Amino acid sequence: MVIDSTFWVAISFLIFLGGLVYLKIPHKINEILEKLINDIKNEIDESEKLRSEAKILLDNAQGKLDTAQTINNSILEQAKKDCDHLIIEMNDKFHKLAEVKKKLTENKIIQMKESALKEIKDISVKIAVESVKKIINTSVDKSKLDTLFNKNLEETKAVLKKVNS
């Protein structure tokens, strides 16, 4: 057997491996790897907890959002009902007020008509009285005066009947 450089490389490799085993390097590497594996497992477990907590929070938030949406819809429906009711109420008030104003105006017109008729009657009576005075002053004949008086009296009665009806 010839001792060449390959033999010495193999021997030095075995001595190197023996030194590693003597110094417990594989054990230390194994401990470091196990520690890293445990750290990764702990991080995975913690992330799973955070994910489940986030899911619970998301479900709670979704429930609150659904509740808020339901409340919002009910408030909108109530506001629409109140608005419709208010519109109907205001419309009724407007029509009632218009009816009252119409009646007041009609009453005022009737009063003005009655007042005008009364004034016409008063003026016609004054005119008749004045006519009678003029006739009396200008006429001397008693028979003519009686005839004229009766004629004027009949005319005045006819005019008053027309005015009253």
Per-residue pLDDT band for 140 (boundaries 50, 70, 90) equals low
Q: What is the pLDDT of residue 145?
A: 67
Which of 14-18, 121-125, 161-165 bottoms out in mean pLDDT, i.e. has the lowest?
161-165
Instruction: Provide the mean pLDDT of the chain.
Output: 87
**Tens digit of each residue's pLDDT (9 = 90 or more) over 93-115:** 999 999 999 999 999 999 999 89
Is residue 136 very low, low, confident or very high in pLDDT (cuts 50, 70, 90)?
low
Task: Annotate 12-43 with b (16+ C-beta within 10 A) or e (fewer).
Answer: eeeeeeeeeeeeeeeeeeeeeeeeeeeeeeee
User: Residue 145 in contact with residue 136, Cβ under 8 Å?
Assistant: yes
Q: Which residue has the higher pLDDT, 141 or 35?
A: 35
Residue 155 has pLDDT above 80, yes or no: yes
The model carries a pTM of 0.42
Could you tell me where the beta strands, DSSP code E, fall in the chain? none
Which tens digits make up the pLDDT trace of 47-67?
999 999 999 999 999 999 999
Least confident of 30-34, 136-140, 150-154: 136-140
24 DSSP 8-state letter: T
Cα 40 to Cα 32: distance, rounded to the nearest angstrom: 12
118/105 Cα distance (integer angstroms)? 20
Q: Is the pLDDT of residue 141 over 70?
A: no
